[in-house]
Amino acid sequence: MIVCVNCGQVNETAASRCLRCGASIFEYPSYLGSAGVAPSGPPPAPPPPSVPPPKPAPPPHKQPLPPPYGSPYGASQTAAPPPMPLPPPVSPPLAHPLPVQPVVVVGGFACPYCRTTLPPRITYRTSPAGWVIFALLLLLCWPLFWVGFLFQEECLRCRNCGRRLA
């Protein structure tokens, strides 16, 4: 370990500069004059931090101690009135209350039109993009016209009322 002659910081032996002040560890500090000779020994250790003298023990109390749950901010010792209970929060009335109709959903599905819980009928049909591809391939490369029919979309219909769901 090398002690910096400039600030007294203890540095690693491989360091060439002080980690605290950045001065070169091997140079003589400029504020000590141009002696040109390195000090003969390590600089004296810095003085230990000053420790305040211990406080004398307080004299025994001749007055009674304050109540144990006093005000933490040193307020007067008079009793404060008990806190008033807060009224329950009041929500503003709804302008148009919505009627709530409970629907029992058995299989995870309910038709929004007839409220049946039967599962929907799933059909597949050629999508609009498929018809465009069919028309273009029929005109440009007729042997591949059938590729447009591969683009299909899923249609969900209610089994009870027959309306399209999605």
| Mean pLDDT to the nearest integer, 1-13 | 77
pTM of the model: 0.33
pLDDT, tens only, 41-78: 566 666 666 666 677 766 665 666 666 665 566 555 56
Handedness of CA 12, 14, 20, 26 (dihedral sign): positive
119: in domain: yes
Residue numbers of the domain that contains 148: 109-165
44: in domain: no
- What is the distance between the alpha carbons of residues 137 and 77, in angstroms, rounded to a whole number? 94
73: in domain: no
Residue 132 has pLDDT above 70, yes or no: yes
Higher pLDDT, 38 or 86: 86
40: in domain: no
95: in domain: no
117: in domain: yes
Of 118, 134, 114, residue with least CA distance to 126: 134
pLDDT, tens only, 141-157: 989 999 999 999 999 99
Alpha carbon of residue 147 to chain centroid? 50
Domain count for the chain, please give it: 2
Distances (CA, A) of 22 to 1, 36, 131: 16, 20, 77
